[in-house]
Amino acid sequence: MLLDKEEERSRVLVIGGTGHIGKHIVAASVRRGHPTSVLIRDAAPADLAKAQLLKSFIDSGVALIKGDLFDHGSLVNAIKGADVVISAVGTPQLDEQTRIVMAIKEAGNVIKRFLPSEFGSDPERVHTVDPAATLYAGKIRLRRLIEAEGIPHTYVCCNGFAETYLLSIGDVTAVGAAPPSSDKITVLGDGDAKGVFVVEEDIASYTVRAIDDTRTLNKILYMRPPANIVSHNELIALWEKKAGRTFQIARIPEADLLKLIKEAAYPLNMMLSHSLSVFVRGDQANFDIEASFGVEATELYPDVKYTTVDEYLDRLL
C-alpha cells in the first residue's frame, strides 16, 4: 500500500544529510511532504558551503538535530522522534553504522524502516578485489546484523552516480573532471560490460518514494532505468556524436587493471576496484532481479520521470 495523504507521511531522520547523496535525499523528503530532520554535529560550521546548505534546509522546513554518530545518547534521542531512518554516511563511516543499529534497538525499535548507506552496487552480487571488496564485505555484515536484530529495512542499490561516472564520460582515471578536453579516454577491459548510471536527484526521489511502500519492506530496491543501462563503448559513442569529435581509446586489459589496483594509492585504488566490478565484470546489470529479494524502482514508480544518460550528457555540452 502506498501512502498519499500528507498527514500520513512518515517522519524522516537523515544521518549524513549534508553529504553527496544525503543532501538530495533531504530535499526529496521535503518535496514529498515528510516531516524531515537531519542529524548534525555543528549548526554553525565554518565551511561556507555547508553553512549555506544548512540554511537552505532550515528555510525548507527541515529540523536540525544536534547529535553525532559517535554520541550514543544523541543518536537514540534523534531516532525516537523518527519513523524512518535513512543513513547517507560516507565511506569512512560505513562500518560505524552498527552504532545506528544499536541506537535503534535502545530506542525500542520504534522505527518503521531503516535504510543503511549503500547507494551503489549490490554488495552481495559484485566480483572485485580490495580495497572495494573489503568495503562491500562490511556492507554485507551490516545487512546480516540488521536482519538478525529484526529491524525493518530497505537496501538501496542505485548503482552508479551520474556525477561520479558520467561527468568524465566513464573515464575513471579522471573522475571529478569535466568532459575530456583531450582526445583520449581510458577504457577498462573491452568496454562492452553494461553499467547503470542514475542522476543523484532521481536516486533521492526513488529512495524517498520507497520508505512508506510495503512492496519495498525488507527488500533490495534496485535502480535500473532502462535508458541508463549502457556500456562504456556505448557511452563514448553517444558523447562523440554529441561533441562532434572522435576520441582515442586507451584500453587497460583486466590483468593490467588488477596490477594497477595493487600499485595505486587511495583513493584511485578504491575507484579502480569499484570500476573493475562495474566496467569489466558488469556486476550492476548481469543478474535478474527476483521478487524473492528485490524490486526495481522504475517499475514500482513509473510516474517518476528520470533523467536519461542521453539527457544528462546534454547538460555537459
Q: At which residue does the C-alpha cell 535513512 appear? A: 86
CB 228 within 8 A of CB 198: yes
CA angle 198, 17, 1 (to 5 degrees): 65
**Measured distance CA(51)–CA(45) in Å, rounded:** 6
**Measured distance CA(262)–CA(272) in Å, rounded:** 10
* Cα distances (Å, whole numbers) of residue 272 to 45, 126, 147: 33, 14, 31
Catalytic residue list: 139
CB 80 within 8 A of CB 109: no
